[in-house]
């Protein structure tokens, strides 16, 4: 009985299989058999060979398309594989470091003690990131509480705290520093090249270290280190920005964005009274950098008094005519010079919506790269940029009184004999007009020079806006003689002289001047001794 039942069952299954097969073949006949000519839309009809040749051409074209598709799929697969390997590697190293940190044996049960500590640790890292000044500014009591950034490129670090070497710029000498920056750059490149970084995979380019422009980083000693890296984008005037945080643990990616700067106009506001020669020099740089290279600039000059205003107007008109440049405004005020008042009037004079402002003086020299830093480090409602400029020493001291002083472009090098990071200056800044208005602008009661800039800077520190302060490669304060007036009271006169000394030359060079007699005597003696030595 069970045997006959089995046979019947097998027969029934057989019948069903046959039925299914014939159904499938019928379906195939209906759905997949070649259609009549009318159904073949892409077949060339007019002026084209019909029949066999036409089909062959069509087939060839199809084959070509499929080959392209396959190769693009293969490319994507290999990218995915690579990314998977990197991820597994990261995961492995993270697991290992976690095990080390937690101290459990490597074969601990998953999801147990180790799993819980891992989750705890992840949570801790995220809480450190949330506490750090990354997404939003922290209210700071004073300028002393701010942690400045360092700037780095592929080979150099630009630092305010110069340590043993005293170099304002150097190749990172310490191995831990080198490794840290290399790892961050590599992680950034991996992120940029990973297949899930958006964009059309067929048209994506591969990012290499050569695309890295510069980065800034700063460590909050109880939280971790923040990195912001800028790369060239896919088009000109486009940049890729990546933000990482290292909470004394593995790097965490915080943000990745594309910044389009093509429409970011900068309004450069320059307050001025007399100093026409300085202004002429300023405009020479302005022509080259702003008009020839950058081409997204407006210039607002706020002139105090009537003295020499004709010359200033003449310089502006000449530039306008020769360069076909109309983006400037000259405002004249019949008042006593006040830098804060000038900048305030200049900033408010703009009536065409929001704009990025750059407050600048005539004795400042900047590069086209600086203008991009300005665009990348200021963001309305979020960030203001307070670059630390490189202050040039007296060129007569740097290059010696007698030898020829090189042209200004050649003088602008960052090294310890040429100048120093002016970390006490807050006058040059990039911020959006909306932020400037919202914070209340300058305190216009302050007359003359000094004080007004620190006042504005402090207002930003007290606010929720992020203040980005970093040594900036393309921004120089040119040396000019500082006069300490005889009318100053003794205490102020002393302070003025100290400041003058600091701007004049490096400690070493001032020493050479101070000990000049000894140095000359030494040279004299050597000259007399040298014939003896030679014989």
Ligand X SMILES: *[C@@H]1O[C@H](CO)[C@@H](O)[C@H](O)[C@H]1NC(C)=O
Which member of 189, 283, 297, 468 binds ligand X (CB under 6 A)? 297
How many angstroms separate the CA atoms of 319 and 330, rounded? 13
CA atoms within 13 A on the CB side of 260: 3
Strand order in the sheet with 388-392: 364-366, 471-477, 388-392, 419-421
How many angstroms separate the CA atoms of 388 and 405, rounded? 25
Burial of 532 (0-12, 13-18, 19+ CB in 10 A): exposed
Q: For the chain, how far is it from start to end, CA to CA, in angstroms?
A: 129
Which member of 90, 256, 308, 327 binds ligand X (CB under 6 A)? 327
Query: What's the Rg (C-alpha) of the chain?
Result: 34
Which member of 116, 295, 507, 516 binds ligand X (CB under 6 A)? 295
Residue nearest to ligand X (CB): 327
Which member of 275, 278, 296, 459 binds ligand X (CB under 6 A)? 296
Q: Are strands 266-272 and 252-260 parallel, antiparallel or unpaired?
A: unpaired
368 lies in the binding site for ligand X (CB under 6 A): no
Closest to ligand X by CB, 327 vs 434, is 327
- What part of residues 208-267 is at the interface with ligand X (CB under 6 A)? 265
Closest to ligand X by CB, 153 vs 329, is 329
Q: From the centroid of its chain, how far is CA 312? A: 34
Size of the site for ligand X (CB under 6 A): 8
* Smallest distance from ligand X to CB 400, Å: 40
* Smallest distance from ligand X to CB 343, Å: 20
Closest to ligand X by CB, 194 vs 327, is 327
Interface segment toward ligand X; rule CB under 6 A; list 98-106, 231-239, 292-300, 364-372: 292-300
User: Buried (b) or exposed (e) across 437-468, using 16+ Cβ within 10 A?
Assistant: eebebbeeebeeeeebbbebbebbbebebbbb
Strand partners, 300: 269, 329
Task: DSSP for 256-276, please give it.
Answer: EEEEE-TT--EEEEEEESS-H
Which member of 291, 357, 398, 465 binds ligand X (CB under 6 A)? 291
Closest to ligand X by CB, 121 vs 299, is 299
* Smallest distance from ligand X to CB 325, Å: 6
For 153-237, list the strands marked E by DSSP: 157-158, 169-170, 212-220, 224-232
How many angstroms separate the CA atoms of 455 and 461, rounded? 10
How many angstroms separate the CA atoms of 275 and 317, rounded? 18
Closest to ligand X by CB, 159 vs 319, is 319
* Smallest distance from ligand X to CB 376, Å: 18
Which member of 240, 298, 339, 375 binds ligand X (CB under 6 A)? 298
Which member of 158, 304, 325, 421 binds ligand X (CB under 6 A)? 325
Interface segment toward ligand X; rule CB under 6 A; list 45-53, 78-86, 281-289, 291-299: 291-299
* Smallest distance from ligand X to CB 295, Å: 4
Closest to ligand X by CB, 122 vs 327, is 327
Closest to ligand X by CB, 427 vs 474, is 474
* Smallest distance from ligand X to CB 240, Å: 23
Contact positions vs ligand X (CB under 6 A): 265, 291, 295-298, 325, 327
């Amino acid at each position: 009985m069970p045997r006959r039942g089995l046979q019947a069952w097998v027969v029934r299954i057989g019948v069903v299989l046959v039925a299914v097969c014939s159904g499938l073949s019928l379906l195939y006949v209906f759905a997949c058999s070649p259609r009549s000519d009318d159904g073949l839309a892409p077949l060339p009809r007019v002026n084209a060979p019909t029949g066999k040749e036409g089909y062959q051409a069509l087939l060839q074209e199809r084959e070509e398309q499929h080959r392209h598709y396959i190769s693009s799929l293969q490319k994507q697969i290999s990218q995915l594989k690579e990314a998977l390997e990197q991820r597994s590697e990261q995961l492995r190293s993270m697991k290992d470091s976690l095990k080390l940190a937690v101290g459990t044996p490597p074969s601990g049960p998953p999801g147990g003690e180790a799993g819980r500590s891992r989750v705890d640790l992840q949570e801790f890292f995220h809480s450190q990131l949330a506490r750090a000044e990354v997404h939003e500014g922290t209210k700071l009591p004073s300028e002393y509480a701010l942690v400045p950034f360092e700037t780095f490129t592929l080979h150099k670090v630009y630092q305010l705290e110069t340590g043993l070497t005293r170099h304002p710029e150097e190749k990172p000498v310490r191995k831990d520093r080198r490794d840290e920056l290399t790892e961050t750059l590599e992680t950034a490149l991996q992120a940029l090249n990973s297949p899930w970084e958006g964009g059309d995979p067929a048209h994506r380019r591969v990012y290499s270290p050569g695309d890295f422009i510069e980065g800034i980083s700063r460590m909050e000693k109880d939280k971790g280190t923040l990195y912001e890296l800028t790369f060239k984008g896919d088009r000109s005037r486009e940049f890729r920005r990546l933000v990482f945080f290292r909470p004394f643990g593995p790097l965490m990616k915080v943000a990745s964005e594309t910044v389009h700067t093509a429409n970011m106009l900068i309004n450069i506001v320059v307050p001025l009274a007399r100093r026409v020669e300085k202004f002429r020099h300023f405009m020479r740089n302005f022509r080259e950098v702003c008009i020839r290279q950058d081409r997204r600039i407006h210039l607002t000059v706020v002139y105090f008094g009537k003295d020499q205003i004709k010359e200033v107007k003449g310089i502006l008109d000449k530039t306008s005519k020769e360069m076909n440049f109309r983006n400037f405004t000259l405002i004249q005020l019949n008042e006593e010079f006040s830098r804060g008042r000038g900048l305030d009037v200049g900033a408010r004079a703009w009536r065409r919506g929001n704009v990025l402002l750059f407050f600048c003086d005539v004795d400042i020299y900047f590069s086209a790269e600086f203008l991009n830093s300005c665009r990348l480090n200021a963001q309305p409602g979020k960030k203001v940029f307070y670059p630390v400029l490189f202050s040039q020493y007296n060129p007569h001291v740097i290059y010696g009184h007698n030898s020829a002083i090189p042209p200004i472009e050649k003088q602008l090098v960052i090294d310890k004999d040429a100048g120093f990071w002016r970390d006490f200056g807050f006058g040059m800044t990039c911020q959006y007009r909306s932020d400037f208005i919202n914070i209340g602008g300058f305190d216009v009661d302050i007359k003359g020079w000094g004080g007004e800039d620190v006042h504005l800077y402090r207002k930003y520190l007290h606010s929720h806006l992020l203040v980005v302060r970093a040594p900036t490669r393309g921004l120089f304060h040119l040396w000019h003689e500082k006069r300490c007036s005889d009318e100053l009271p003794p205490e102020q006169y002393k302070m003025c002289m100290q400041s003058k000394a600091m701007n004049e030359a490096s400690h070493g060079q001032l020493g050479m001047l101070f000990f000049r007699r000894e140095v000359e005597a030494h040279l004299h003696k050597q000259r007399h001794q040298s014939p003896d030595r030679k014989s």
